[in-house]
Structure 1
Amino acid sequence: MTVHHPQSPQFFLTSPSPCPYLPGRAERKVFTHLTGERAPALLDLLSQGGFRRSQNIAYRPACERCRACISVRILVDEFRANKSFRRVLKRNEDLVSFEARAEPTSEQYALFRSYIDERHLTGGMSEMSVLDYAMMVEDSQVDTRIVEYRRRVPGALGGPEARQGELLAVALSDVMADGMSMVYSFFEPGASERSLGTFMILDHIERTLRKGLPFLYLGYWVEGSDKMDYKIRFRPQEHLLPKGWERYEG
């Protein structure tokens, strides 16, 4: 007879639905709930197995005949910015960032709506209301941070005055035992010349390094999906394969 510990997580499987990354394929996910005092430790454990967090759910792909989604994490201690990355950092020298406990604001939502309406109007987030956004940010049982990237206010040395600069990008990230995990990020769609998506990853590599943690988790790289190819530019990195985490050589 199998005995289940009363605090052991229960896992569930979703029904098949169209894959958002590879046309003509169906996706399924296995998921569990992250609740209570054990949520941070459970997320740490599940992240080692390729799970991601969305609000109080931890999930990972469980497709029947497809293994295209591969978990990616950057080895931050070994990362060195190449010439292209240094140009991105240079273009954004006029930005300042603020990391705090995850709390939603109307200013963030306005930027989120601009980003979604411009970049992902037909995606699953296109109908998110301000309340939906608030839940995405604050419905977490783990150590979740929000990082705002603002245009520097001339003459402002810090404090509330420094936070009055134009909001250009936002990242929602978890701090775990072995690294940071970028849950979701968005940015001003009219500032494409800044490469803000790349800039936020570079900034998070530095944040993870300053916290003394070894990994920055980027979620899934989907081979064959052009919109996911940016993730393999940040090397060295490891991919979660059948034998465990292995260094990606390209």
Structure 2
Amino acid sequence: MRHSLPVAPQFYVTAPQPCPYLEGRMERKLFTALQGDGADTLNNALSKQGFRRSQNVLYRPTCADCAACLSARIDVSKFTLSKSQKRTLRRNAHLERRATSPWATEEQYALFRSYLESRHATGGMVDMDVFEFAAMIEETPIRSRVIEYAHQDTSELEAVCLMDVLDDGLSMVYSFYTPDVPRQSLGTHIILDHIEIARNAGLPYVYLGYWVPGSPKMGYKASFTGLEVFSQNTWNPMRDPAEFEPTLHPLSTAPIAEQVANISLPDGNKAVSE
């Protein structure tokens, strides 16, 4: 009888490209494929080590001379609403949450285009066509949901979040919303509602993606109590955001081989770099 040994995930590094968060910097990503029967288990393990999912890929920044990007999550048990967040909930009381399977619609795509053209007109996603958008939503090898927020009277779609369900929380993969009502703070509302979803499901964390000190695009994440950031291979409670400085130093990032060797895989195998 032939027995096959488990195949360890292969890790790769992208070519340098302009950083979308810090002007004048270059970014690289460490990534691996997310596929097969162990996709959920691998996603759970690597999400706890600062990785994020994009379709069937897990990635983490690994810039040669910068370690500014910090994976962020909210400890639901330590979160409390601020006065401004309470106002945000009141302003969006007209929204109805709809949870669906990860299936793209024309209404979602129209909202996505409006959001990009208003908020990220020079970003890398602005050229995505409807087929690429559908792939972003639908190509998921793990347990994912689309959370829609629609006006309860008109059913008009105002916000959407693609979310993964992890064994210890919810991971907000990508959110977009109508850009012409800034007073509603729809981005904040989506996060607040996911905290409520996680609390009701008994899940301890909501993963927000990356927080980058010094990047105006990411500043809003620091306003949530109970925030933790992943640094030096461990999760730490957020201190005063003003105390953080972007880590921009030629020795701030360990060599790729060392980073890969320190990744903990769920089956006990050693990660392999290519």
TM-score, length basis structure 1: 0.93
One-letter amino acid matched to 1:99: A
Who is 2:83 aligned against? 83
Match 2:177 to one of 182, 187, 199: 187
- Separation in 1, partners of 2:114, 2:15: 31
1:6 offset after TM fit, Å?
4.2
3-state DSSP class of the match of 2:20? coil
Per the alignment, in what secondary structure is the counterpart of residue 228 of structure 2? strand
Please name the residue that 1:168 is paired with: 158
> Residues 178-236 of structure 1: CA distance to partner in whole angstroms, max 9, x if unpaired?
00000000001112121100000000000111111100000110111011011111111
* Alpha-carbon distance in 1 for matches of 2:186, 2:16: 34
Runs of 4+ displaced beyond 4 Å: none
Gaps of at least 5 residues in structure 2 are 241-274
Give the total of aligned pairs: 237
Q: Choose 5-14 or 42-51, whichever is displaced more.
A: 5-14
SS of the residue aligned with 2:37? coil
Cα displacement string for residues 37-86 of structure 1 (whole angstroms, at most 9, x for unaligned residues): 11010000001110000000000000011010001110112211111100
Distance 2:204 2:150 in 1: 27
Q: State the Cα distance separating 1:249 from its structure 2 match.
A: 2.1
Aligned partner of 1:160 in structure 2 is: none
Does residue 241 in structure 1 map to residue 236 in structure 2?
A: no
CA deviation map 1:132-153 (0-9, x unaligned): 0000000000111000000012
Query: Among the aligned pairs, what percent are the same residue?
Result: 50
Whole-Å separation in 2 of the counterparts to 1:76 and 1:185: 19
Distance (Å, rounded) in 1 between the aligned partners of 2:233 and 2:117? 40
Q: Secondary structure at the match of 1:128?
A: coil
Matching residue of 1:27: 27
Structure 2 counterpart of 1:108, one-letter code: Q
Question: Are residue 178 (structure 1) and residue 168 (structure 2) matched?
Answer: yes
Q: What secondary structure sits across from 2:77 in the alignment?
A: coil
Q: In structure 2, how many angstroms separate the alpha carbons of the residues matched to 1:56 and 1:79? A: 31
Q: Secondary structure at the match of 1:141?
A: coil
Matches within 5 A, 1:141-220: 141-153=141-153, 165-220=155-210
Distance 2:69 2:233 in 1: 15
Residues 26-45 of structure 1: pairs in structure 2 closer than 5 A: 26-45=26-45
Please give the alpha-carbon distance, in whole angstroms, between the structure 2 residues aligned to 1:55 and 1:88: 31
Alpha-carbon displacement from aligned partner over 1:146-190 (angstroms, at most 9, x marks no partner): 00000012xxxxxxxxxx610000000100000000000000111
* Further displaced range: 236-245 or 121-130: 236-245
Match in the other structure for 1:71: 71
Tell me the TM-score normalized by structure 2: 0.85
The question of 1:132 aligning with 2:122 is answered no
* Coordinate RMSD, CA, aligned: 1.2
**CA separation in 2, counterparts of 1:181 and 1:29?**
19
SS at 1:11 equivalent: strand
Deviations 1:98-146 (A, max 9, x none): 1121110001001001111111111001100000000000000011100
- Deviation of residue 7 (structure 1)? 2.1
Q: Which has the higher contact order (CA 8 A, sep 6+)?
A: 2
Answering whether residue 218 of structure 2 is matched by residue 228 of structure 1, we say yes
